């Protein structure tokens, strides 16, 4: 079942909450969709789902993540640290929807005030009827600070590179199962 939080929150930095749960993505943003095969079988699906919904995959890919322990839940606050040392930028987000279904597990978080971008990103693990396990990152975003506006087309390029990196880490974690 996919759960979406109330649209009444005023701390989000964009109006299209929950849009990664459906297509098409809203206009006026850069769009990202990256899908990677990460394994085969129920054990790989479960391991990948746990890695994604506990931020273990994010952490092993090099991101600094501050979030509550355990699986993500709608309304959970997350701060992702981007960069290194004094050049690190804290990017605050909130989980807007989750999916804990027999063939689909994942979540999306949306940007909060203070995030260098505005938009939403989802991380979903699915298992096909033939047992193939997929990991998909879907996002829409646009600059929300002077430095992301200045970086221009570099930001979508970096987002795609990170989605691919995250896919490789989910694959490794699923294979360990």
pLDDT digits (tens, 9 = 90+) for 8-62: 345 898 989 999 998 899 999 999 999 999 999 999 999 999 999 999 999 998 8
Q: 2 pLDDT band (50/70/90 cuts)?
A: very low
Confidence grade of residue 6 (pLDDT, cut at 50, 70, 90)? very low
Tell me what pLDDT residue 11 has: 86
pLDDT tens track for 73-119 = 999 999 988 777 777 788 899 999 999 999 999 999 999 988 888 99
- The pair of structure tokens assigned to 119 is 């938009």
In whole angstroms, give the CA distance from residue 161 to residue 141: 15
How many Å apart are CA 138 and CA 25, to the nearest integer?
9
- Long-range contacts, 80-89 (Cβ 8 Å, 24+): 82/116, 88/64, 89/116
Name every residue whose Cβ is closer than 8 Å to that of residue 51 and which is 6 or more positions away in sequence. 57, 60, 169, 170, 173, 174
Q: Is the pLDDT of residue 1 over 90?
A: no
Q: Inform me whether the pLDDT recorded for 70 exceeds 70.
A: yes
pLDDT at 144: 83
The pLDDT assigned to 118 comes to 93
Can you give the pLDDT at residue 137?
Answer: 98
User: What pLDDT shows up at residue 162?
Assistant: 93
């Amino acid at each position: 079942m996919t759960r979406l939080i109330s649209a009444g929150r005023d701390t989000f930095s964009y109006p299209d909450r929950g849009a990664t749960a459906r297509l098409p993505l809203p206009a006026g943003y850069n769009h990202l969709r990256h899908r990677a095969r990460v394994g085969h079988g129920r054990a790989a699906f479960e391991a990948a789902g746990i890695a994604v919904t506990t931020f273990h995959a994010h952490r092993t890919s090099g991101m600094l993540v501050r979030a509550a322990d355990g699986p993500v839940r709608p309304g959970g606050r997350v701060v992702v640290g981007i960069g290194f040392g004094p050049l690190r930028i804290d990017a605050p987000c909130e989980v807007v929807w989750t999916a804990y279904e027999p063939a689909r597990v994942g979540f999306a978080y949306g940007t909060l005030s203070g995030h260098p971008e505005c938009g939403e990103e989802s991380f979903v693990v699915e298992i096909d009827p033939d047992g193939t396990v997929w990991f998909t990152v879907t996002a829409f975003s646009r600059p929300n600070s002077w430095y992301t506006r200045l970086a221009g087309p570099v930001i979508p390029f970096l987002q795609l590179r990170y989605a691919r990196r995250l896919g490789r880490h989910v694959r490794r974690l699923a294979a360990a199962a």
